Amino acid sequence: MTQTFTITRLGHQGDGIAEGPVFAPRTLPGEAVSGTVVGQLLTEVRVETPSDQRVKAPCRHYKSCGGCQLQHASDAFVADWKVEIVRKALDAQGIEADMRPIHTSPERSRRRATVAVRRTKKGTLAGFHGRASDTISEIPDCHLLHPDLIAAIPVAEALALLGGSRKGVLAVTLTLSEGGLDVAVKGGKPLDGPLELALAQATEHHGLARLSWDDEVIATRQQPVQRLGTAEVVPPPGAFLQATKDGEQALLQAVLQVTEGAKRVVDLFAGSGTFSLPLAQTAEVHAVEGEADMTAALDQGWRKAKGLKRVTTEARDLFRRPLMPDELRHFDAIVLDPPRAGAEAQVSELAQAKRPVIAYVSCNPVTFARDAKTLVNAGYTLEWVQVVDQFRWSSHVELAARFTLNS
């Protein structure tokens, strides 16, 4: 039975929400919509009265592809909505902060993407999964990905023909690097001699920088270098990397501003050195990261670079073994860039260590606000928050923030 609803707000996943609650994908606040309710989801959605913030989606794949959630909304609406998500998360913890204007990465700037590839009777099918679906949508005109990544999708298809299964789906991560295309495949057939030989030949044929198969490096033609500041780093296959170079630079500029003048900095959840190596141009840095192969890559990048101050590395699980106050007292600035779970254990120790300034980079406003509450209760002031949108048209929100210790 068809029912009509008025959308009152957007949820954190970008769906419109009506009284009930009823969730209606790709709708906007103030819109009257109709459809069939299945559980709490409105299906076969029809917009009866559109919002003045509704626009025509720029990408022709939007209806079938699940890669974006908000192409039907104006850029101004999305920007305001993402800033408001952060503001509301802080409000829930009783915290106010200066919200800087959002920084949004341009279209077609994603330098990394994981495409799904399935073998078919006629060949292969590669693209992104549809919304809450196993269906793969082809994306030859994707407005998110850098054109060089779009051009690399046939490589993913060729690899599926070599080592994919008709029963499963390959996850092929394509990353642009200074040395060319870096490809990491998950979910393929088990390696044996013939497959390894075929994959090595494919690496050469397609001119790949590096190819790895379920974490095992098959071949490296050129080092897949990422430039971090003045250093050149070769991250492990599939290692974390900021989604766009533009977004990375926006976050870095915020971190550099927070830590300006610091002589000794500790970078927690340092990855392969996104912040550590640029910081080392003016400060000594101790980089701590849970994955030893990432700290090794960071260390090699520092050793080969010229003109940087001393960088030390430590492989350490900061969830189970956070740095303690006596270890933190040597540093006059802290950089913190945890995964979505936040850094509850580490922030508890930071609250006791009482270092002068903290730069906090987050990809989850809710866990950020929780950790911010701990710091504020310990005598810190959250001076400002810079929202960075490098996952354009998605519900994903990133930010950088400055905390200073009250004197």
Catalytic residue (choose from 65, 68, 142, 363): 363
Q: Is the peptide bond before 29 cis (omega within 30 degrees of 0)?
A: no
The token pair that represents 364 in the structure block: 């989850």
Locate 35 and state its tokens.
């459809």
Residues forming a β-bridge with 386? 100, 400
CB environment 350-362: b (16+ within 10 A), e (fewer): bbebebebbbbbb
Q: Is 142 a catalytic residue?
A: no
**Spatial distance between the Cα atoms of 58 and 72, rounded to a whole number of angstroms:** 8
For residue 143, what are its two tokens? 């407005």
Q: What is the 3-state secondary structure (H, E, C) of the chain?
A: CEEEEECCEECCCCCEEECCCEEECCCCCCCEEEEEEECCEEEEEEEEECCCCECCCCCCCCCCCCCCCCCCECHHHHHHHHHHHHHHHHHCCCCCCEEEEEEECCCCCECEEEEEEEECCCCEEEEEECCCCCCEECCCCCCCECHHHHCCHHHHHHHHHHHCCCCCCEEEEEEEECCEEEEEEECCCCCCHHHHHHHHHHHHHCCCCEEEECCEEEEECCCCCEEECCEEECCCCCCCCCCEHHHHHHHHHHHHHHCCCCCEEEEECCCCCCCHHHHCCCCEEEEEECCHHHHHHHHHHHHHCCCCCCEEEEECCCCCCCCCHHHHCCCCEEEECCCCCCCHHHHHHHHHHCCCEEEEEECCHHHHHHHHHHHHHCCEEEEEEEEEECCCCCCCCEEEEEEEECC
Judge contact between 284 and 311, C-beta under 8 A: yes
CA dist 268 and 99 (Å) reads 24
Catalytic residues: 363
